[in-house]
Structure 1
Amino acid sequence: MSNSAQGYGKVAIVLHWLIAVVMIGMICLGLYINKNEAYHLMSTHKSVGILIFVFVVWRLLLRLLKGFLPALGSTSTFQQILSRLVHWILLLGTVLFPLSGMVMSAMGGRGLQVFGTEIFPMNMLNGRPAAINEDVSEMAANIHELLVPIMIAAIALHILGVIYHQFIVKDNTLSRMLGCTKCHK
């Protein structure tokens, strides 16, 4: 089933919810790691980030190839602009979050591993990780950190928009993203 004006296809729905749940979980895990200095969880954070990046790229390619259906319907121009802006922030954020994390780790000399499987080796100097490009690693770290409040705000606006459309406008926005085009009619 592919996207149509009535709803999204099964692949789009699964990718949406998988990425949404994992990204929210990763933001929470990252905040937890930083607040509690729980650095023993960092390898899990990095591994999940690398894996979700594959699904993010897949979703982005589908969105670019198949478009951004279904249409926004009869909403005001302001709501349409805000909706498009929030969706683009979420799409870009889901790409930039894992990408900046991977660049930060790799250029910081810490390499890239997915649950112990090496993808990009550590850069070792005198038995310690040594930055490959500290400036690039720092820039990626700054992007990664800057994305946290931006993505939290965009996710909150997205959820509020869904609630508004589902229960006030009653255009079945949530129902369509749950794959239920006949719900609540």
Structure 2
Amino acid sequence: MSRTNPASYSPLHIALHWLIAAAILFQLIFGERIKDLGRALKDGGTPDAITVFMGNAHIWVGIAVLALTIVRLLVRARYGVPAPLPSSRPQELAARAVHGLLYIAMVLVPITGLVAWYGGVHTAGEIHELAKPLFIILTALHVLGALYHQIALRDGGLMRMFSAR
């Protein structure tokens, strides 16, 4: 596998970024519905159709996040990514930390959810639930960093994820 620093993100990089972002946003907004499904099934009740649909949507969207993230990591490894924009050392370290933690979360959170749901491992479920505030914080830091590059530094950082030049 070759690792290069292309001049810009490819359309595939960009599509994967936004598909994963949309899936994570869906999970943050609607993910709590899985608890309703779990409670109904645990209590021996019959959940209504919306609860079943939303609970299953949470599972399938989580699997999609995992699968798309694996594809994204393979694309990064094979084709590389553009070099980071010039910034101070602390900013560069913060960006690397946020990106690294996001990738770790995009892999481990769906896995812990699957282990909790299908394996019945309570500890995995607790770890999975802790991920929501983590994703909110990391996403907020990621968005703020992108806006900082676009608005304060005016270096076009945000636009790199909208257009493959």
Shorter-normalised TM range: 0.7 to 0.9
Distance 1:178 1:168, change over 3 A: same
1:180 Cα deviation from its structure 2 partner = 5.1
Residue 150 of structure 2 corresponds to residue 166 of structure 1: yes
Q: Choose between structure 1 and 2: higher helix proportion.
A: 2
What is the rounded CA distance, in whole Å, between the counterparts of 2:24 and 2:134 in structure 1? 13
Residue 114 of structure 2 corresponds to residue 105 of structure 1: no
Match of 1:74 among 86, 96, 99: 86
Q: Which residue number in structure 2 is paired with residue 131 of structure 1?
A: none
1:97 Cα deviation from its structure 2 partner = 1.9
Match of 1:53 among 66, 90, 95: 66
> Taking CA–CA contacts closer than 8 Å with sequence separation of 6 or more, which of the two structures ends up with the larger relative contact order?
2
User: What TM-score do the two structures reach when normalised by structure 1?
Assistant: 0.72
1:47 Cα deviation from its structure 2 partner = 1.8
Quote the RMSD (CA, aligned, Å): 2.3
**Are the counterparts in 2 of residues 10 and 179 from structure 1 also a CA contact under 8 Å?**
yes
Give the greater-gyration-radius structure (CA).
1
Q: Choose between structure 1 and 2: higher strand proportion.
A: 1
What is the rounded CA distance, in whole Å, between the counterparts of 1:64 and 1:28 in structure 2? 31
User: What TM-score do the two structures reach when normalised by structure 2?
Assistant: 0.81
**Are the counterparts in 2 of residues 165 and 171 from structure 1 also a CA contact under 8 Å?**
yes
Q: Greater CA deviation, 95-104 or 147-156?
A: 95-104
What is the rounded CA distance, in whole Å, between the counterparts of 1:170 and 1:4 in structure 2? 22
**Are the counterparts in 1 of residues 62 and 110 from structure 2 also a CA contact under 8 Å?**
yes
- Where does the alignment leave 5 or more consecutive residues of structure 2 unmatched? 40-49
Q: Which amino acid aligns with 1:172?
A: G
Equivalences, count: 150
